[in-house]
Amino acid sequence: MYKILIVEDDETIAGGLKNHLEKWNYQAECMTDFKDVMGKFVEFEPQLVLLDIVLPFFNGFHWCQEIRKISKVPIIFLSSANDNMNIVMAMENLEAYQVAVVTEDARMVMEWNGAILNLADATVLYQDQKLELSKNEFKILQILLENTGKIVSRESIMTRLWDSNEFIDDNTLTVNVARLRKKMEQIGLGGKIITKKGIGYMVEA
């Protein structure tokens, strides 16, 4: 199961994020001991970190630098301060391709070639057109966008989608990708998901 570590000292926000992510079958953990963020990171081994900037003891920039010493896990900064300085500090101190900054206005989104994938409500916005995705369609697109320009194997996608001991027919993924492609065509994003025969799928940068 895809694991997400939430480093947020506001219990209401952290709990809301955790509940929302678990509805989408992610395994989410909230940080409670803000003196030992690295201890929890090493123990939990997350695939994604949601990191508040303003924290007790040390700020989010400090913990991101510590994480970068041992891991290249994707990090999303969370900030209620709609301040360009937060973005500047993140990009100056860290590797930009591995870090996103989410302010109160920006929400949780992924941008790709003019299209915006909203992680909060599983929709795609492109040229003033809004597309609603199913849970599996959303996860497939998210996985591909996380690996823009890289081939993602069918096995990797299936593991993320169906993390269980239950046997899943390989054709199930093909059907889900076909449905996603058909929906994307409706808003002018046809042909964006490329099949690498015998390997997997990719979206180009």
Tell me the pLDDT tens digit for each residue of 83-112.
Answer: 444 554 544 554 433 444 444 444 467 778
Question: What's residue 167's pLDDT?
Answer: 54
pTM for this model (two decimals):
0.52
The answer to whether 155 touches 168, Cβ cutoff 8 Å, is: no
With a pLDDT cut of 70, the percent of the chain lying above it is 82
Q: Is 108 exposed, middle or buried (0-12, 13-18, 19+ CB in 10 A)?
A: middle
pLDDT tens profile 142-181: 999 988 889 999 999 988 887 655 556 778 899 999 999 9
The answer to whether 40 touches 33, Cβ cutoff 8 Å, is: yes
14 or 200, which is more confident? 200
Question: What's residue 89's pLDDT?
Answer: 54
Q: Select 110-203's CATH number: 1.10.10.10, 1.10.443.10, 3.40.50.1370, 3.40.50.280.
A: 1.10.10.10
Question: What's residue 134's pLDDT?
Answer: 93
The answer to whether 79 touches 102, Cβ cutoff 8 Å, is: yes
Question: What's residue 24's pLDDT?
Answer: 81
With a pLDDT cut of 90, the percent of the chain lying above it is 42
The answer to whether 46 touches 75, Cβ cutoff 8 Å, is: no
Cα 135 off chain centre by: 14
Question: What's residue 95's pLDDT?
Answer: 47
Pair type for strands 99-102 and 75-78: parallel
How many helices (H) does the chain have, and how many strands (E)? Answer: 7, 12
Class of domain 3-106: alpha beta
pLDDT tens profile 48-97: 999 888 889 998 888 988 998 898 888 887 765 544 445 545 445 544 33
Residue 197 belongs to what H/E stretch? Answer: none
Instruction: Provide CATH 1.10.10.10 ranges for the chain.
Output: 110-203
Adjacent-strand bridge partners of 124: 117, 131
From the CB of residue 79, how many other CB atoms can be counted at a distance below 10 Å?
A: 19
